[in-house]
Amino acid sequence: MVSCQLIIETSQPINNINIKKTNLTGPKKNTLAASNITLFRQWYHYVPISKAPRQGVRYPLKAGWYPDALVPFSAIKHGAPFNIPGEDFYSIDKEGNPDMKLNEQTNQAVWIDVYIPNNTPSGMYEGYLTVTAENEQEYKIKLQVDVFNFMLPDEFHTTWEFMEYGRVAKGPEDVELKTYQMTKQHRITLSSTGVMPDTVGQGYDVTFDWKRFDKRWGKYFDGSAFVKGPGKGQPATHMLLPFDALVSRPDKEKKWWGKSWPFPLPGDSTDQKFSTEYDKAFSSKLFEFEEHFNKKGWTNTKMLFWPEGVDEPQPNVGEAGRKSLKMAKHYGQLLENSETERIKYRVDIGGGLYSSIDIDGDGEIDPDSKEIINYLKDVVDVWNCSGKWIKPEHLNMRKEESRWTDVWFYNGYPPATGTMMVNGESLGFRTWQWMVWKYKLSGACDWEFGWPQGTNVFREMIVNDSIGYPYLRNMYIFPGEQIGLKGEPLPSIRLKMIRRSIQDYEYLWLLTNRKKDEGKAADKVVEKVLKRGLREAVPFWPELKDNPNNWSHRPEEWYNARIELAKLIESTHNQ
């Protein structure tokens, strides 16, 4: 998938603007069909005050109108044809009344996606986009696509996860399907804590009823849900198992955290204790879950056990974090005892990589991440760490001694990673998978995906402000029903930037796979645009200082790096 933008500008009102597209013709009359070109009208969002929040944006752009949500031209509302100025773009106040309106609109940006099918012959393809409008002369614009002589693999060699806490899984099935398909087409895995079978019975004797589970979610694990584009016909790369416990969490200043499934942990907030009966029953249910997937033939989806109740244990706050850390380890041991073969234990460690107490029992408090690594290394398969805390060398150097297979990062924020906000530079997400490559990680994750929390995300900027995530943080796919497009999830520009980042990673993988040079050629290209990231990009916490030279902030340098990778890959064609 490649993209570009077309900007329609005018000094006076214009009505009924539309764009016609043609096939693109290449060498020997080969064609890229017009059906591979998708046009989107960019939605303008108003940022009333652009400032650096507690987390997320360290280089905020100024207040004003920003494009992000993308409405397909084919949409029954807000698509094409459209007017300049339009009636669509306005913000609302706290009472929900129209507030700021884009009355002075003099341009409309159009996003263009071009899908290049596998086995398309290489060469320059050329066609036209024709802009039409009421009482205006047609304007024809040449569209060229230079196709190289290689294909990106349909299988994914890196992970980008959108993690949601059941909102999509509890919503309409047709919207869920479209959301899963959209994320897969952008090379992203959507994972949910709400994908669980029904249960029958009470207590430790509960049994699973798989009928609804298989009917609704089986299509993601056999690949039949994914009918076009990258990942066509391939099962979801991984899933989150729904197993969890409701846990008292004083280390996070929360009375309770997580959910009780498939049965509650014994005790109360002052005395939660594992029991022999609980442990045995919990392990056996993990085994039953894997057994069902094996019987169905769903063996290509990695199964991750992530108990939310012990999410981000916080030994860095002292003894209050010891209990949750011990519980996190115990759940890993329950997985060990389950005799499962494919389920992996995932820990989202956040900033808990650093401890203020002696965790590993050697009588000393290590000021770095080794306390936690030593304590959990025998049970953890997947480390998911906050980008601003992760020291990749500590996790990577111990892989041979331990069982873990993957290291991911999430969040991070500038200057550790690029920004995720609408009012930050669009290159922000481009940096993420380049950092995954540079530091030899396995992927990246962003959580609370697509959760508007009652906010009209087309009209308002603040989502999750209570935890410092304004400016449409997490809203990478917009709920179309908020603007009269019921049942239609809509992509965003930031989603496209994430896709670009992931495709870049596949360029790096493909070059390395062809040259057999252990990534040396790819690393040289990475170094030109990305000097440092993650914790290497910030001084020791909390003396955080911005470093704008961690990566290039010039879009053309990233573009040139991508073209350089493409030419290097092309040069290996006959090797």
Residue 277 forms part of a structural domain: yes
The verdict on 272 and 367 lying in the same domain is: yes
E strands, 288-379, in order: 302-305, 343-350
CA distances from 572 to 151, 521, 558, 575 (A): 13, 12, 22, 5
The verdict on 391 and 285 lying in the same domain is: yes
Tens digits of residue pLDDT in 417-450: 888 888 888 888 899 999 999 999 999 999 888 8
Residue 141 forms part of a structural domain: yes
DSSP string, 124-156: EEEEEEEEE-TTS--EEEEEEEEE-S----SS-
Are 52 and 60 contacting, i.e. CB atoms less than 8 angstroms apart? yes
The verdict on 135 and 214 lying in the same domain is: no
The verdict on 219 and 130 lying in the same domain is: no
The verdict on 283 and 139 lying in the same domain is: no
Nearest to 563 by CA among 518, 513, 511: 511
Residue 273 forms part of a structural domain: yes
Structurally, the chain folds into a number of domains equal to 2
Q: For residue 82, give the CATH number of its domain.
A: 2.60.40
For the entire predicted model, the pTM comes to 0.95
Residue 284 forms part of a structural domain: yes
Are 501 and 432 contacting, i.e. CB atoms less than 8 angstroms apart? yes
Q: Low-confidence residues of the chain, pLDDT below 50? A: 540-544
The verdict on 138 and 23 lying in the same domain is: yes
- The pLDDT value given to residue 424: 83
Which of 385, 410, 435 delimits the end of a domain?
410
The verdict on 399 and 311 lying in the same domain is: yes
Are 246 and 259 contacting, i.e. CB atoms less than 8 angstroms apart? yes
Tens digits of residue pLDDT in 233-259: 999 999 999 999 999 998 888 888 999
The verdict on 218 and 278 lying in the same domain is: yes
Q: Is the peptide bond before 85 cis (omega within 30 degrees of 0)?
A: yes
Are 129 and 20 contacting, i.e. CB atoms less than 8 angstroms apart? yes
Could you identify the residue written with the tokens 């879009």?
555
Residue 433 forms part of a structural domain: no
CA–CA separation, 459 and 455 (whole Å): 8
Residue 439 forms part of a structural domain: no
The verdict on 143 and 292 lying in the same domain is: no
Which residue range(s) make up the domain with 331? 199-224+236-410
The verdict on 252 and 385 lying in the same domain is: yes
Which of 344, 378, 410 delimits the end of a domain?
410
Which of 105, 122, 147 delimits the end of a domain?
147
φ and ψ at residue 227, rounded to 5 degrees: -105, -5
Nearest to 384 by CA among 326, 473, 460, 307: 307
The verdict on 214 and 349 lying in the same domain is: yes
Residue 384 forms part of a structural domain: yes
Token code pair at residue 24: 């693109």
Are 419 and 58 contacting, i.e. CB atoms less than 8 angstroms apart? yes
Vertex 409, ends 68 and 62: CA angle to 5°?
A: 35
Token code pair at residue 192: 């949910």
Angle between helices 320-337 and 276-296 (to 10 degrees): 50
- The pLDDT value given to residue 541: 46
Beta-ladder partners of 288: none
Residue 125 forms part of a structural domain: yes
The verdict on 17 and 107 lying in the same domain is: yes
Q: Count other Cβ atoms within 10 Å, centred on residue 44.
A: 22
